[in-house]
Amino acid sequence: MTSIQTKSEGSILSNLSLIAAHSHISGLGLDDHLQPKDCAQGMVGQLKARKATGVILKMIQNGKIAGRAILFAGPPSTGKTAIAMGLSQNLGTGVPFTAIAASEVFSKDISKTEALTQAFRKSIGIKIKEETEMIEGEVVEIQIDRSLTGGHKQGKLTIRTTDMETIYELGNKMIEELTKEKVIAGDVISIDKSNGKVTKLGRSYARARDYDAMGPDTKFVSCPEGELQTRKEVVHTVSLHEIDVINSRQQGFLALFSGDTGEIRPEVRDQINTKVAEWKEEGKAEIVPGVLFIDEVHMLDIECFSYINRALEDDFSPIVIMATNRGISKTRGTNYMSPHGLPLDLLDRTIIIKTEAYSEDDVAKILGIRCQEEEVETTPDALRLLTKIGMETSLRYASNLISVSYQISLKRRASAVDIEDIKRSYMLFLDSARSVDFLERNSESYIDDQGKVKLSKQDDEDKDKMDTSEA
């Protein structure tokens, strides 16, 4: 591989906006001094954890530290995933953020370590600086000679700055490019000399009165000064994984769209690492350690954990944030118990942020925000009942009741969800505690561990008969 490409043609579709579990969150809700506000950017309470995450945010933005591990640990629905999503929003576009659920690692048709390697490399940004030569000026005249057969075209482009004017010979490709951009005399354009790309910067003020059929969005710019040829520095950020995919021969950049990248050969990665290190030495590239968020991290097994241990010490390592709701539990793939289901050697490398159960006030606020997000009107009484349900069962169950209660309220053509609708949906849909209770009372009619089940009352009578006949 002599030259390494870092650009693909096109971008990946993302950000389809749906009302999802965390769509009300637009950041961590911190002030300028990174202190958490009580309720901002969709975030409520959990102040200590948000403050701690603010410190991590600062650390990432400084871009000096890589290879650290952070663990969010706390009971279910205490906002661990929510805080991570808030962090990703605050990071902005320059810093890569990759979120995976630990179970994804097992569900791919590639090995566990390959899946993790890809996730790690997606979280490392490479900011590449390139100097390109540009021609920038106002078009005075474009002259195109079409040959009679229509095949080959030739032409001349006269272009000027306030200080000079030059005529360039045009070939087929440049003519196509200029026609595509609909460049006419009086436009100020820039031409990238390395790839011949033409960009229209606007119309020259000098020609503002030439035509009266100008669209409302026509932008006017002044004619450039000085030399026609200028050097410009352009910066673009790609992830290491994108560079891997673009340069791995079997895949090509199209794999970026399908997401089906398969395994990437280690030699390709080695070459890319060497090249990127060279670019860094030469000052051509900067490495931006991003964030890899692994949700439900207790689902990883011991092999994955030991991979992470080592990967954290790599030269190119992101900040790894993990989340778990497990207490002392078995580490997958071993027979021993450990805190949060994480092996002790990895736990030793992590700093832990704790999340705690919410107060009634916080639950009320979060449910209020969720109602707004789902565009559901509720009466104050209904919200109070919902909060009570949230405190007694779980925040998730209560917020799931919002949309079903809304559907029930629609049936009676009400403008707002009322206490009755909440009651109805509470009766229709069980929370986990009631479901467990029901199970315990009716356990014999479900299939048990031994595959046994009592299908009907008849079974009992038959059994009695058999017992007596045996006797």
Ligand X SMILES: Nc1ncnc2c1ncn2[C@@H]1O[C@H](COP(=O)(O)OP(=O)(O)OP(=O)(O)O)[C@@H](O)[C@H]1O
List contacts with Mg ion (CB under 5 A): 81
What is the SS3 assignment for 445? helix
Cβ closer to Mg ion: 46 or 81? 81
Q: Point out which residues pair with 406 in neighbouring strands.
A: none
Tell me the C-alpha distance between 449 and 106, whole Å: 26
The DSSP code sequence of 361-417 is HHHHHHHHHHHHHTT--B-HHHHHHHHHHHHHS-HHHHHHHHHHHHHHHHHTT-SSB
Tell me how far, at minimum, the Cβ of 325 lies from Mg ion, in Å: 7
Which of residues 21 and 302 has its CB atom nearest to ligand X in the complex? 21
**Is 243:6 a contact under the CB 8 Å cutoff?**
yes
Contact between 223 and 204 (Cβ < 8 Å): yes
Output the residue with the shortest Cβ distance to ligand X: 79
Using the minimum distance from each CB to ligand X, give the nearer residue, 247 or 387. Answer: 387
Residue 21 binding target from Mg ion, ligand X, none, CB below 5 to 8 Å by type: ligand X
Decide: 282 and 311 in contact? Cβ < 8 Å. no
Minimum CB distance to ligand X smaller for 75 or for 252: 75
Residue number with CB closer to ligand X (356 or 420): 356
Q: Which residue has the tokens 């102040």?
A: 47
CB-nearer residue toward Mg ion: 241 or 298: 298
**Closest distance to ligand X from the beta carbon of 316 (Å):** 28
What minimum distance in Å lies between the beta carbon of 43 and ligand X? 4
Query: Residue 337, class by beta-carbon neighbours within 10 Å (0-12 exposed, 13-18 middle, 19+ buried)?
Result: exposed
Residue that has been written with the tokens 């009695």 in this structure: 464
Least distance from C-beta 21 to Mg ion, angstroms?
9
Give, to the nearest 10 degrees, the angle between helix 302-311 and helix 112-122.
40
Output the residue with the shortest Cβ distance to Mg ion: 81
Give CA–CA dist 416/376, Å, rounded: 7
User: Distance between alpha carbon 257 and the CA centroid of its chain, in Å?
Assistant: 15
What does the binding site for ligand X look like in residue numbers (CB under 6 A)? 21-22, 25, 42-46, 74, 76-82, 325, 366, 395-396, 399
Cβ 86 to ligand X, closest distance in Å? 8
**Residue number, 136 or 295, with CB nearest to ligand X:** 295
Give me the least distance between CB of 139 and ligand X, in Å please: 53
| Nearest distance in Å: CB 376, Mg ion | 23
Partner from Mg ion, ligand X, none binding residue 269, C-beta < 5-8 Å depending on class: none
Minimum CB–partner distance for residue 173 and ligand X (Å): 51
From residue 408, alpha-carbon distances to 165, 196, 380, 395 in Å are 73, 61, 17, 20
The span from the CA of 198 to the CA of 176, in Å, is 10
Which tokens go with 214? 């100008």
Q: Among residues 70 and 243, whose Cβ is nearest to Mg ion? A: 70
Cα 41 to Cα 24: distance, rounded to the nearest angstrom:
8
